[in-house]
């Protein structure tokens, strides 16, 4: 076996049991609507043959009044509407053959039954909508829901407290329904709605996962951007600044005449300064001086000058700090579990009334955050959230931010929930078949590595500019890359890759750019071959496309050397309950592994002190001898707060590590080496003489990282492109298309559901609710449409990314646009059809309906008698050569 499964994994469970959503159905109305649609479909089927049978009868009748009535009846039959006079009478039926008369009488009774059912459904809907509102109010009044709403939507929480279920409020009801579905139907990314734990493989068998619903621990943290900015602001106070330690930027490269570094200019840029004697003297003092605080450096440099120009020295030093060549700060590690407590302790070293006020304000803010964790009552939490806001406002006032118009972020603090009562699940042996299927996915994912096209183009660029086998400082290569893409029209004569080609491959990995570079063309061809392989697999009678593993293995065996399997893969799986004991699962998401799925949770557990999470072993070097190295820094995001997960860490400018120096690799210690045999660029630590593979283990997406940080990853790391990879295979060919609705079958590889069945439709093709129209009429129209296309009653819908309004088309804005997130829909609930109407109105392009899998009968997570949606995050790591 050429992979290993990590011994621990993440368990994520929805806060509410799925069964609560069943209470929000208008079930009786839905059943009546189904009967109405059954009759209507019968009437539709009979309309044309009955109309055709009546046609010759009309020509034979000479009496004008009877003929007109027959013509009117024929129209009614064809259109499936009730006759205006109540139905064909005896005279009318006598004018047609007996067999046709019986058929028309049956048709009449069906019309009467249908119309009676429509009336009943209308009456029932009024009753059930009131019951639905009461159920909605009851569920939303649960403390677990309200605790989540306090942070997720304070306004909705307050509105809920004022709302009486006896009064309809469509907008409020839709909002509550969406929040409840996020807490019950899936494991929401919003941490307050989902609890996380660490699972362990054990000798037990059976698919069930049991957890103790009372074993939950709240962990609250201040917004990481504020954690970063508060000490930076304090570092400007003269009474503090003089005593703060300094260091030289970890990216500084000196070549005798010039000094280059990754500094602050328009965000982040490579800056270049003349290596003057004065500048060298300043850098030397910061590196080797006996007192490397701001005041100490100023004092020693001014004393050495003999003219005691302290103010001029301080101004010049501050200029170097402003551009990022020299860094100053409290040396608080970015991933400290108690940053406010650490800052309060460090401030004790400094004198002054203003410093004492800062210590007091920050201490009160820290206490307010800690108190929030222990509160259970939603109302108390709301008051405490206001107290946190007030404490933070005091800090803003003290730092001068209020006067400058700085606003407190909407999410001033975040809450995560850890489960501490999870029991070990299953022995790994029964899961082996599923793991083998996941390993095939791991190996296939290398073909869609979204960093690979950029790496291929960059290797061509490097070899053309520096020569085959050359070695260049990382910063110099990065600077040359930025310069080239900044001048896309300039490409040296005879070179195949210039700025335009680099930018295209760097930013657009899919579809693979074809530009006459053999490896890129080969990569594109291989993707097309794999798509063809998948599309050739037949769709069975259950609407499932089953992909045989042997052709996939044969395809993998012929991949070229530059297409490398993913070194480590985190698989987000929803287990499926089964009767035969064989584990099966649905693949939700793919992400790079290396402990990324647990890194943040391990830190939260460490902060909470529960000891519920076990620290995994640090990974061994890759099969080709490279050491994995994460990158220092949080980039001001709580998503990037984490525990150390690799042996080494790349020291990134403007960030502080908690690692010992021997485990830190400064950015200026990295060189880029061209390997002419493999035609790859390698990242190497000069001082340690080891190959380095950068890995991003925060949860922030890579393209939001700072430019050089992102470049490190894209040039020398790997990325798992779940969307491009899985979606391209799953949409290889539609199983059918009807009235503009394309149906894509469920894609299954062995025991793994690679992608759920889906239906793609233009928003304008869905039945619209007419203004002032009947609620039952809309239910009937939607049910007929759903049944016609085979869409399940319970499913999810989302707008296709890249379609719709401008916000949906922007790469960054679109990621934060809520219309692209899956929204739960229940076609047997008038409330969730209102939610669907809102989704349809929110886009002018395509929608995707996706089957709900697992469904209620497939859930394996149990809290007492209640079943919860849950997700396992299992990591597979390459263990050797992939044959």
pLDDT confidence of residue 699: 92
Q: Encode pLDDT of 339-393 as tens digits.
A: 999 999 999 999 999 999 999 999 999 999 999 999 999 999 999 999 999 999 9
Quote the CA–CA distance of 644 and 699 in Å, as a whole number. Answer: 14
Bridge partners (DSSP) listed for residue 415: 220
Q: ∠ at Cα 774 (768, 780), nearest 5°?
A: 65
Q: Encode pLDDT of 592-612 as tens digits.
A: 999 999 999 999 999 999 888
What mean pLDDT do residues 650-663 have? Answer: 95
pLDDT confidence of residue 189: 65
Residue 165 has pLDDT above 70, yes or no: yes
More confident residue, 85 or 729: 729
What mean pLDDT do residues 178-194 have? Answer: 85
Local confidence band at 88 (pLDDT 50, 70, 90 cut-offs)? confident
pLDDT confidence of residue 786: 97
Q: Which of 103-107, 714-718, 862-866 is modeled with the greatest confidence?
A: 714-718
In three-state secondary structure terms, 181 is helix
Local confidence band at 80 (pLDDT 50, 70, 90 cut-offs)? confident
pLDDT confidence of residue 812: 45
What mean pLDDT do residues 448-468 have? Answer: 96
Structure tokens at 253: 């490269």
Q: What is the DSSP letter of 429?
A: G
Local confidence band at 807 (pLDDT 50, 70, 90 cut-offs)? very low
What mean pLDDT do residues 453-460 have? Answer: 97
pLDDT confidence of residue 882: 53
pLDDT confidence of residue 423: 66
Range from 312-316, 376-380, 814-818 carrying the lowest mean pLDDT? 814-818
Residue 187 has pLDDT above 70, yes or no: yes
pLDDT confidence of residue 79: 83
- Candidates 453, 446, 444; CA nearest to 513 is 453
Percentage of the chain with pLDDT > 90?
71
More confident residue, 212 or 810: 212
- Candidates 92, 90, 93, 84; CA nearest to 111 is 84
Where are the strands (E) in 734-804, listed by range? 736-738, 741-744, 746-749, 752-755, 758-762, 794-799
Range from 300-314, 590-604, 725-739 carrying the lowest mean pLDDT? 725-739
pLDDT confidence of residue 53: 86
Using CA of residue 148, residue 150, residue 153, residue 155, what is the dihedral sign? positive
Range from 76-85, 310-319, 482-491, 499-508 carrying the lowest mean pLDDT? 76-85
Q: How far is CA 707 from CA 273, 472, 506, 526, 687, in A?
A: 21, 19, 12, 30, 25
Domains of the chain, by residue range, sit at 28-128, 245-328, 429-568+594-719
In three-state secondary structure terms, 797 is strand
Are 584 and 598 in contact by the 8 Å Cβ rule? The answer is no
Residue 571 has pLDDT above 80, yes or no: yes
Local confidence band at 461 (pLDDT 50, 70, 90 cut-offs)? very high
Where are the strands (E) in 136-268, listed by range? 194-200, 209-210, 216-222, 246-248, 253-254, 258-263
pLDDT confidence of residue 311: 93
Q: How far is CA 437 from CA 443, 689, 753, in A?
A: 10, 37, 10
Local confidence band at 34 (pLDDT 50, 70, 90 cut-offs)? very high
pLDDT confidence of residue 276: 96
Q: How far is CA 736 from CA 533, 549, 731, 744, 764, in A?
A: 18, 25, 12, 7, 20
Structure tokens at 267: 């965000």
More confident residue, 631 or 861: 631
Residue 806 has pLDDT above 60, yes or no: no
Residue 881 has pLDDT above 60, yes or no: no
More confident residue, 578 or 394: 394
Range from 65-74, 315-324, 409-418, 604-613 carrying the lowest mean pLDDT? 65-74
pLDDT confidence of residue 406: 83
Helices (H), 141-189: 143-152, 154-162, 170-184
Q: How far is CA 306 from CA 298, 320, 871, in A?
A: 13, 22, 68
Find the farthest-apart pair of alpha carbons in the chain and give their distance in angstroms, rounded: 127
Range from 553-562, 613-622, 647-656 carrying the lowest mean pLDDT? 613-622
Are 711 and 507 in contact by the 8 Å Cβ rule? The answer is no
Gyration radius of the chain over CA positions: 33
What mean pLDDT do residues 537-561 have? Answer: 93
What mean pLDDT do residues 483-506 have? Answer: 90
What mean pLDDT do residues 813-819 have? Answer: 50
Q: Measured in whole angstroms, how far is the alpha carbon of residue 518 from the centre of its chain?
A: 34
Structure tokens at 602: 């391990």
What mean pLDDT do residues 751-767 have? Answer: 94
pLDDT confidence of residue 424: 60
What mean pLDDT do residues 687-707 have? Answer: 94
Number of H helices, E strands in the chain: 28, 32
Residue 814 has pLDDT above 50, yes or no: no
pLDDT confidence of residue 81: 81
Helices (H), 252-401: 277-288, 294-305, 310-322, 339-347, 353-374, 378-399
How far separated are the first and last CA of the chain, in Å rounded? 10
What mean pLDDT do residues 719-727 have? Answer: 79
pLDDT confidence of residue 389: 96
| Mean pLDDT estimate for the chain | 90
What mean pLDDT do residues 554-572 have? Answer: 94
Q: How far is CA 659 from CA 39, 257, 643, 723, in A?
A: 72, 33, 11, 35
Are 451 and 764 in contact by the 8 Å Cβ rule? The answer is no
Using CA of residue 662, residue 665, residue 669, residue 674, what is the dihedral sign? positive
How many other C-beta atoms can be found within 10 angstroms of the C-beta atom of residue 637? 17
pLDDT confidence of residue 686: 96
pLDDT confidence of residue 484: 95
């Amino acid at each position: 076996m050429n992979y290993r499964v990590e011994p621990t994994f993440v368990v994520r469970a929805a806060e509410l049991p799925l069964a609560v959503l069943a209470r929000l159905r208008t079930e009786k109305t839905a059943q009546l609507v189904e009967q109405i649609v059954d009759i209507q479909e019968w009437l539709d089927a009979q309309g044309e043959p009955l109309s055709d049978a009546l046609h010759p009868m009309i020509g034979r009748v000479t009496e004008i009044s009877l003929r007109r009535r027959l013509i009117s009846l024929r129209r009614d039959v064809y259109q499936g509407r009730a006759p205006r006079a109540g139905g064909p009478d005896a005279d009318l039926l006598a004018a047609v053959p007996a067999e046709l008369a019986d058929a028309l009488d049956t048709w009449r009774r069906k019309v009467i039954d249908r119309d009676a059912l429509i009336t009943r459904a209308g009456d029932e809907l009024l009753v059930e909508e009131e019951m639905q509102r009461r159920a909605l109010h009851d569920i939303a009044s649960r403390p677990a829901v309200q605790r989540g709403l306090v942070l997720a939507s304070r306004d909705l929480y307050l509105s809920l407290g004022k709302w009486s279920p006896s009064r309809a409020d469509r907008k409020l009801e839709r909002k509550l329904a969406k929040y409840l579905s996020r807490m019950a139907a899936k494991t929401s990314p919003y941490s307050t709605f989902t609890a996380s734990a660490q699972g362990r493989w054990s000798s037990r068998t059976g698919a069930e996962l049991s957890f103790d619903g009372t074993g939950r621990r709240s962990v609250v943290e201040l917004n990481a951007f504020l954690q970063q900015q508060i000490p930076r602001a304090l570092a400007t106070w003269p009474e503090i600044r003089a005593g703060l330690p300094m260091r030289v930027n970890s990216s500084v490269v000196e070549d005798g005449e010039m000094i280059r570094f990754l500094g602050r200019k328009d965000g982040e840029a490579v800056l270049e300064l003349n290596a003057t004697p004065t500048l060298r003297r300043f850098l030397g003092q910061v590196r080797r001086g006996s007192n490397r605080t701001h005041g100490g450096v100023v004092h020693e440099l001014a004393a050495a000058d003999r003219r005691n120009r302290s103010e001029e020295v301080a101004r010049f030093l501050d200029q170097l700090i402003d551009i990022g060549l020299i860094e100053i700060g409290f040396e608080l590690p970015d991933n400290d579990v108690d940053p406010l407590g650490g800052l309060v302790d460090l401030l004790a070293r400094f004198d002054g009334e203003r410093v004492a006020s800062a210590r007091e304000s920050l201490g009160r803010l820290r206490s307010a955050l800690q108190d929030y964790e222990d509160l259970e009552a939603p109302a108390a939490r709301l008051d405490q959230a206001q107290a946190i806001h007030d404490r933070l406002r005091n800090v803003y006032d003290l730092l001068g931010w209020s006067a400058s118009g700085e606003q407190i972020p909407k999410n001033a603090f975040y809450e995560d929930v850890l489960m501490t009562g999870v029991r070990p699940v299953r022995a790994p042996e029964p899961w082996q078949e599923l793991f083998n299927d996941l390993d095939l996915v791991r190996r296939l994912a290398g073909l869609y590595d979204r960093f690979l096209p950029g790496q291929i183009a960059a290797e061509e660029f490097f070899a053309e500019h520096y020569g085959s086998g050359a070695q260049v400082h990382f910063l110099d290569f990065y600077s040359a890359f930025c310069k080239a893409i900044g001048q896309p029209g300039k490409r040296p004569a005879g070179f195949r890759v210039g700025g335009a080609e680099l930018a295209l491959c760097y930013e657009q990995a899919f579809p693979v750019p074809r530009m006459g570079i053999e490896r890129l063309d080969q990569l594109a061809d291989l993707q097309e071959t794999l798509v063809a392989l998948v599309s050739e697999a037949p769709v069975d009678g259950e609407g499932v496309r089953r992909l045989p593993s042997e052709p996939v293995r044969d395809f993998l065996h012929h991949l070229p050397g530059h297409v490398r399997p993913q070194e480590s893969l985190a698989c987000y799986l929803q287990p499926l309950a089964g009767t035969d004991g064989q584990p099966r699962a649905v693949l939700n998401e793919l992400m790079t592994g290396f402990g990324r799925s647990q890194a943040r949770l391990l830190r939260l557990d460490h902060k909470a002190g529960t000891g519920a999470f076990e620290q995994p072993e640090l990974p061994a070097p890759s099969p080709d001898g490279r050491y994995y190295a994460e990158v220092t820094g949080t980039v001001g995001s709580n998503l990037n707060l984490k525990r150390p997960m690799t042996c080494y860490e790349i020291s990134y400018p403007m960030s502080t590590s908690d690692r010992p120096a021997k485990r830190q690799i400064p950015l200026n210690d990295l060189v880029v080496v061209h390997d002419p045999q493999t035609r790859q660029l390698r990242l190497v630590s000069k001082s340690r003489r080891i190959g380095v593979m950068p890995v991003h283990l925060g949860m922030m997406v890579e393209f939001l990282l700072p430019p050089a940080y992102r470049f490190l990853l894209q040039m020398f790391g790997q990325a798992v492109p779940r969307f491009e990879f899985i979606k391209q295979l799953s949409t290889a060919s539609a199983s059918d298309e009807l009235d503009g609705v394309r149906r894509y079958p469920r894609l299954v590889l062995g025991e793994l559901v690679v992608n759920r069945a889906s239906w793609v439709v233009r928003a304008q093709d869905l039945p619209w609710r007419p203004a002032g129209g009947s609620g039952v009429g809309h239910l009937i129209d939607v049910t007929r449409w759903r049944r016609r296309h085979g869409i399940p009653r319970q499913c999810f819908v989302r707008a296709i990314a890249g379609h719709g309004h401008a916000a949906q088309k922007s790469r960054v804005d679109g990621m934060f646009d809520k219309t692209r997130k899956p929204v739960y829909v229940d076609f047997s609930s008038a409330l969730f059809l209102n939610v669907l109407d809102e989704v349809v109105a929110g886009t002018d392009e395509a929608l995707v309906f996706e089957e709900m899998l697992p469904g209620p009968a497939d859930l394996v997570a149990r809290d007492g008698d209640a079943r919860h949606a849950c997700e396992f995050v299992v990591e597979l790591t390459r263990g050797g050569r992939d044959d």
